[in-house]
Each structure stands twice: as structure tokens, then as C-alpha cells.
Amino acid sequence: MLPGFSRRTVDAAGVRVHVRVAGEGPPVLLLHGYPQTHLIWHGVAPALVAAGHTVVLTDLRGYGDSDKPPSDADAEHAPYAKRAMARDQLLVMRELGHERFAVAGHDRGGRVAHRLALDHPEAVSALAVLDIVPTRHAFRHADAAFGLGYYHWFFLATGNGIPEHFIGQDPDFWIRTRMGARHHGGTPFDPRAVDEYVRCFSDPAAIHASCEDYRAAAGIDLVHDDEDAAAGRLVDCPVLALWGGHSFVGRHYDVPRIWRDYASDVRGHALPCDHYLPEEAPEETARLLTEFFRER
């Protein structure tokens, strides 16, 4: 599905990260969300290559064909803190020879990208976040609508192996119904990509790791976010926020206004789709990212 992209594994301080690379020119790192892998970018990445970028696609730790570090002994779920996940990506880019680069992240990948820009501002030249508001804002303003629309945040963060048990009974059902419920018009999901998501998510280690991702988000990630807020730290590179006009994010938040509380230079656009912008609206997503990164 990604012709011309080479495949390799990069050791990021002991965590093996699955990587695909193509193109020449200014580097762009693309990060996927839940429950996908790097393949969510299959309709976007080739356009960025054609526009003159070196494009790096990775599977986040815990997802796809990247390592799933153990975390059961860590009460804070720190191995899946966005700080740890962001450092993986920084080390990958350094290993590939890129000291400074642009980054775009969808869903969970957007949260990793946000942390990457905060923790390593010298490395990130531009940040694009797709269909999210900051984790801290989402939790601090959660209401009944959020609880119903984003019930999986609370379900996946539950302890005692509960979500792992239920998802593990039928991961195919979980993936297909979860994605289908958040698709509205636009390009259908490519069955080959969905099959790959199911393959990767059928690994019990991937199910557990993804739950740890959400457990960290409800705990240690908020600690880090609160520390940044108390210190007045903002993302200081240009930020592009994209969201689906039919998504929960698009219907419930003033996305650019919220991001301006977390970054100093923000612009934004709604796209005619639901949550999965790179798959539902690949042409529009590629065009807006190309225009944004061209300016940097």
C-alpha cells in the first residue's frame, strides 16, 4: 500500500520502532492514532513525498510492529507516557539523520507529537494535530457528552485487565465497529488497511499496550501537562489544527481557540469528514499539510 517506502527497524534506546521512509527533502514525521498503524497515512504520505519531503512513518511503541515494552510493574504506566513515546520518535529521527523536522499526528499520535514539541522544541519546526484538543483540556472539561462520545477513554483506562479481557475475545469486532462508528462520508476505509489493523491488534501484547497508553493519559500525562501549564510553557513552533466537521471534536469544541491556550501560533481548518481525516479525506489532508509544511 506504500510503494517506494523502504522498511526498517530502528532501536530507540532499547525500544525497536518499525519505520517506513521515502522521499528526499525537508523531513516530515507522521504519527498514527488508535487503533491504527502507520498505514493510516497511505493516502497522504505519497503526496508529501511528491511535494518534495522526506517522509517518515512509524508505528508508535505498543502499536503495529513496534515493540510493546512491559509496564505492569509501573504504577504510573510511565512506559506509555507521551513523554516516553515522544522520545522514541526523537531518537528515530536522529538515527535517520534528522535533527530538526516537522511532525503531524492523528489522534494518539497527535498527543505524542504535542509532547514532542513541548519537550524538544529545538527539534520540531512545525506541528500539525489532527482531530484532537489537548488531553488536559479534554479531561478538565469532561461532561456527559464527552463521557458518551469518548467512553473508550475511560473503558481502556480501567485496570485489572478488564478491557484487555473483553477486547481480546473478539479484536476484529472491536476494531471494525470502533472505526465504523467514527466514519462519516468521504473515502471508505481501504479493506487492506483495516485487515492490517486487525492483524496487529490481535496480538494480546498490543491490546494491553494500547490500554496502558490510555491509562498513562489519565494519570502521568496529566501531571506533565499540569507542570507545563504551571510553568507557562507553550508550543513555540507554528501549529496547524485540522479536525473533522462531523467528528465529536468538530461538533463540541472551538478547536483553534483551545489550541491557542497551548501554543503561540495556531491556524486551523475543518474537513468534511468524521474522525479519521487521513483515510476519510486524504486529498484534503495532504493538500493542507503540504501547504503548511511548505511555509516552514
**For 286, how many CA atoms within 13 A lie in the half-sphere containing its CB?**
20
Three cell numbers at 178?
A: 470502533
CB 255 within 8 A of CB 133: yes
- In the residue annotation, 275 being an active-site residue is answered as yes
Burial 167-195 (b: 16+ CB within 10 A, else e): bbeebeebbbeebeebbbebeebbeebbe
What are the phi and psi torsion angles at 256 (to 5°)?
A: -60, -40
CA distances from 73 to 211, 214, 215, 225 (A): 15, 16, 14, 23
Fill in the amino acid letter for 267: R
* Catalytic residue, candidates 65, 107, 131, 213: 107
CB 225 within 8 A of CB 134: yes
Q: List Cβ neighbours of 140 (8 Å cut-off, separation of 6 or more).
A: none
* Catalytic residue, candidates 98, 106, 114, 275: 275
Three cell numbers at 43?
A: 493516502
Residues with a known catalytic role: 107, 275
